[in-house]
Chain A
């Protein structure tokens, strides 16, 4: 049985390596999955699901649970890999029946089909507004758990995000933690090539958020940042927190990181799978040496 609660950073790094390999196996066996985006979001997602969410597959609807909203819904396969690893769903269903008619693991996650998914997403720019609803509900009931939202940098081009960003800070919803997987690439463009940010961090700050910009591929830094979030204080709330996790799309697989847009949605053959698995092993070993 896989351990679903990990404490140390080396354990989390090891797990991130495993999940990256599972993602690549999905690209091999299921084919045509979003791959490069999930690879860049893997470290943050692993830190949350195996440690900070205190995710309990046996108690998914506990009103006091920490919640996670995958605003970049096209990364659903990343959730699926973690859920299968935790024994919540069978691997066969993922490898053999991904995005197949009548089966649960779709190209975007559906909360009714996949236990563990909080809300069905796919259309971009919705996640933070979901979190606002959750945050008010929790505050109304005195529940001081956290609500985490994972967004993409490309996704932030959607205007609806900024309605939510403005609102959450205005109402001191400091039980929300937005994490931007700042992977520097959308489906067509590298960061700054088309839509330009003068500074993403300054934009969030100007809207009233407490912003922490980190190396989103360094598990030590991710762990430190999540461990040091200010406690949720419902009576005297502060600012909501935005973590800008700087990553590279395709993180962990060097040839994907070099041309990430080419691996946005892809499949892998046996030879390419063997190559990526070897590269991920090397990458994971390197990560453990960082501190």
Chain B
């Protein structure tokens, strides 16, 4: 059985982007140019694409109980303590630098791995938009 499975092989990556999504044909690459510092926009352009992925922070058994599917994000982020370190708060309205979410995205976290796990990581410009949303008080 192991030999049969081994015959499957890894993908060549032909026609795919870094995330393994098709380069053409309606892939779910985020329209970063349309990203705005609102929860709806971040949800659509960042969380849905990079985070709310099955096995990560989407659907059943989201890692660390942090489910980032539409409708879940605000309740699991804003003023919610991290399950990895309850001394940390995932999103502190008005304090992006103190928010664990930003630390995890820009790689300055003290617990766990930088997100998205294994990369590719978000661009600084994208993270700055999320920073701005938190700076604005993380309105829902």
Chains A and B belong together in one complex: no
Q: B: which residues have CB within 8 A of A?
A: none
